[in-house]
Amino acid sequence: MKKLYSALGALLGISIFRKIYQELFILSNSDSVSPLKLYALLLDYRFLVNFGIANFVLLTVLLIPKFIRWVLFGDALDQREIASIREKFNYTLFEFIWGLVILKNIDRESLTAKTVFKYALLFACLVITKSFHYLCDMRVATQARDINNGQYQTKSSLKLFIGINTLICVDALVFLKIKDDMQNSMNIIFGFEVLNLCPLILITMVNYTSSVYMHYRNMSQSPTSLPFVILDFTLNLVRMSLFITYTWICYQNFTFPAHMIPSSYRCFRMLLTKTRNLIIHARNQKMFKRYLTLPKTHSIDGCSNDTCFCLEELSQDKDNDIRKLACNHAFHYECLKWWLVKSETCPVCRSPLQFNDTQDQAGIPLVIT
């Protein structure tokens, strides 16, 4: 990126030098050249800004992105966040260009300079909203890692909560504004983009809620309870349904929305991943309920006073549900579920997990995937 800015700066410098050279050449061909005229030329800065369109484009590309980034985000972005925003911008720019082509095919007469300018402004608003959403999503992931490391910050978490709710309100207001004029083909294209962004923001809110829930429940890992998994799957299913509905409506009334192909493909892959996670979670829950026995009170006394996960005492109450493996080691149910998803051995003795029922006495290992 530094090489790109250096190249643009070099081109801009060449343009300035060319302007100065032209002015000096005009003076040199005049009848009378005096040091006073040359001095007056150097004092006159107007020719330095009297550029053409190419010079203006170079200056815009060189300075405007940094200025906009500073105005919107300040100096709080790291290189990973900047790279992510740049990737999303290029991704959205592809959809913008293809959407503009589709808009031209839909209504040729409406594609005027005013329409293109309005389309570009809507695109800029959409990019800014998406950029803030991706930043919030990355900050939520960072907060989850900080909670795992015991570095939860209440002030930062509150700011993040306000930011996510602000995004939800802005997205809803923009959609309601566009909804009033759905006869315009431009509003149809951007209305879908704004509506499709809503499930993504809600998914970010779900991830934020799960991380905060993990902190206040004093859990060392993210919760994998069934409601969170089902809600995550449902929101991705809603997104895929929106893609299918929009494609069908646009194809029936206008043309095939080719600019939606990359987004639809990524959404489809995400839905497959969430479906797989839901199936694995449901299967694991079924196996947990069947093969993890509920120990009696007198058997807990023979175990260790605390577990190797959360270092809390083993006690049978409504908040600490205890489960025992076939090797007679007992753990908290939430801690054990997190472990069994990643390993097939006992956390203490490392012995393979066995079916703990009367139907299997041969010691078949319990496979958790």
Backbone angles phi, psi at 74, to 5 degrees: 70, -150
Specify the 3-state DSSP secondary structure of 361.
Answer: coil
Distances (CA, A) of 151 to 35, 52, 124, 162: 68, 54, 36, 20
List, as one string, the DSSP characters of 241-260.
Answer: HHHHHHHHHHHHHT---GGG
Tens place of pLDDT for every residue, the chain, 369 residues?
Answer: 555 555 555 555 555 555 555 555 554 555 554 555 555 555 454 444 444 555 555 555 555 555 555 555 555 666 777 777 777 777 777 777 777 677 666 665 555 667 667 777 777 777 777 878 888 888 887 777 777 666 777 777 787 788 888 888 877 777 777 666 656 666 666 777 777 778 888 888 888 887 777 777 665 445 456 677 777 788 888 888 878 887 787 777 777 777 777 777 888 888 888 888 788 777 777 766 666 655 555 444 444 444 556 656 665 554 456 766 667 677 776 677 666 666 667 777 766 665 444 333 333 333 332
What's the one-letter identity of residue 208?
Answer: Y
Q: How far from chain centre, in Å, is Cα 321? A: 35
Distances (CA, A) of 17 to 20, 24, 46, 47, 223: 5, 10, 14, 11, 63
